[in-house]
A and B are shown apart, each in its own frame.
Chain A
């Protein structure tokens, strides 16, 4: 018998109870996951269902950890007393058998479970196989491969667990260290650190291969110790500052700004300053306008420069914001973050404040108008959605692949919705933006975006009637595609920092 199959068969026979438990948990996760998009009338039930799904996800990952650890340690590569190392094992075949085991008892059940989830969500599993495989590959790179590699350099499950706990402590420490830097790396489009996953994959793969080929454990351990530092270096080299500068080039001198931005302080919404966790923030009302018809823009990041009368200047790092603006324009707030020493330095007199935005410019592809869905209905660019009514009007959707930047417009009606064809007493527009998530991978390949429409809610005058989106009312969906990225900004002259900084 082929050595690979012989080892695989032995491992399967040896670990069938663990395999069974892992597969059952994976399938249970698949059957539980649709609760993510089901509409429950009882919020408590919904919460419980979500917790069960979360717990099953955790158990599923734990089961994989156990399976990987057990199967690698079955022919442990550390030590000189194992019976198998003086038997005619060929390392390539041994490694292939272990990979086959992981593929058969982790990969296949996972793909099967995800196919079930997708089918339950109303999507076809087969045509989107590559999406599933990509998700599995990303998850394997981020989780299974590092686990596999650490298992190859540890002697048993206890040592593996201790090593993983140490790694976790380092990771948490690193996260704290990088969170202390406001312009540290953040994993979101278009800032993704694309070298991270290939480096992690290659580092772990080399360590595993080296360990199976030579069993020189300290060489593999050294590689695995160096790898996190290399990963940290890539994170340090891909600071948000440089990533945004790279992704959003300066506009040409002749090109028109895709959006006009202005500060709009008023008596109701003045500039205000507050302090929070050792930093000062100036809350800054702004107005976006001038987006061309058929286009939309999203402000992804902003930075600001303060120039004092004496010429001294300070520029903030890029800070995250998220404003989506259609042709109708919109208002918004910025919170300018700076440390108290800088605040004190610039508050003594008027300064010039220049704010620069990183702008994504989108162009409309198609506009679809349909009745507002009450039951499952395909919403272009988003997925399959169903209405949720409760404290907020919105759509609970599930999305399987390639979601689009989408604008959804609805009509709110005042009071209860009736079945009659009579027009409602009063209406007003409402809208929601849907922007694809920035997740590199997830336990499930079906996402559950929620669209909540702005413009509804109760009347300010305390009317007993709410504004609602009624079933069958007009629902317009505009899908966009990204045209370009650029920077734009505006200058506010003689800006005086608020004298008082409120603690929060």
Chain B
């Protein structure tokens, strides 16, 4: 993978917002995706992921704020601007009457950087049936054809909207493998509501909930920040009223207090715990899988929906 350049982000958003009538779908998003990143935008259905991607692709116009994609204002993205972007969406209407070979033949002249050797490699790798019409292909095969036609010109940015939804694990792995082979030469921005499918390869992750970016971080930093903390007390005690906001979902059962620390700082956090629970006999802070982190944030966000900005997890949204 190329070294990332935070100074020159491939995608940049400033106060990006989108309303449909009175419905706020995106609310003032600030985000920078560094060059070379594999950025996974996650969130539940309806969180605003697809809207954000459509704003980036100039399929929607922002209601407020702005976005830049490869240095171009998203509102001006058109025509030749798409020479450098590979976009695949689960909802895309492909030219069904075309064969796979016909699609590749047709797309080839559009791209000055189209690589015939890479095209052949992708066809082999994805085991694409060149003579079959897209409408006669399975969903997985259609996605593979879409991938092949979007990777063969070596775009410096690949944007994928829920690319693996509804695919069987084998096809998903094949697509991820094909994608990762391109990763050294490109920036990948993809959305997903399935944490497990992106956890293994994403370098950055952002969490969108109700149109707000709750956080955006590097995966490694995220894993370091979150800990599943269990405190064993000498005697049962109620939870104090003023726990730090960075302690999510605190609960107590007999002598055990449990919470998720989203700003874990090792000894400093241990000292905070000791100060709040003087009778603590034992403190364990376990690393968390990504899925558990997101569930915790989502639950916490929904429970504090009246003031979601107050969550500690929402304080960072710049990768």
Contacts and interface: CB of A to CB of B under 8 A. Distances in A.
Nearest to B92: A83
A3 B110 contact: yes
Contacts of A89: 79, 82, 110
Contacts of A91: 78-79
A41 interface: no
Interface in A64-119: 74, 79-91
Nearest to A1: B109
Interface in A11-69: 13-14
Contacts of A80: 54, 59-60
Contacts of B57: 86
Contacts, number: 50
B201 interface: no
Contacts of A88: 79-83, 110-111
Nearest to B159: A86
A86 B85 contact: yes
A97 to B, nearest CB: 12
B198 to A, nearest CB: 21
B147 to A, nearest CB: 12
| Size band of the interface chain B makes with A | 20 to 34
28 contacts: A3-B109, A6-B106, A6-B109, A6-B110, A10-B106, A14-B97, A74-B95, A79-B93, A80-B54, A80-B59, A81-B92, A82-B93, A83-B92, A83-B94, A83-B146, A84-B95, A85-B59, A86-B82, A86-B87, A87-B110, A88-B80, A88-B81, A88-B110, A88-B111, A89-B79, A89-B82, A89-B110, A91-B79
A330 to B, nearest CB: 65
A420 to B, nearest CB: 73
B91 interface: yes
- Mostly, the A contact residues are helix
Interface string B63-86: 000000000000000111111010
B216 interface: no
Given A3-B110, A80-B54, A87-B107, 10 more contacts: A6-B106, A6-B109, A81-B89, A81-B91, A83-B92, A85-B59, A87-B110, A88-B82, A89-B79, A91-B79
A264 to B, nearest CB: 73
Contacts of B102: 13
Nearest to A79: B93
B63 to A, nearest CB: 15
Nearest to B59: A80
B141 to A, nearest CB: 15
Q: Which 3 A-B pairs have the closest CB atoms?
A: A86-B87, A80-B59, A1-B109
Nearest to B89: A81
A430 B85 CA distance: 80
Interface in B143-158: 146
Contacts of A79: 93
Q: Which of B54, B78, B80, B81 has the most CB of A within 10 A?
A: B78
Given A3-B109, A3-B110, A6-B106, A87 B82 contact: yes
A74 to B, nearest CB: 8
A89 B92 CA distance: 16
A83 B87 CA distance: 9
B215 to A, nearest CB: 28
Contacts of A86: 57, 59, 82, 85, 87
A87 B79 CA distance: 7
Interface string B138-174: 0000000010000000000000000000000000000
Contacts of A14: 97-98
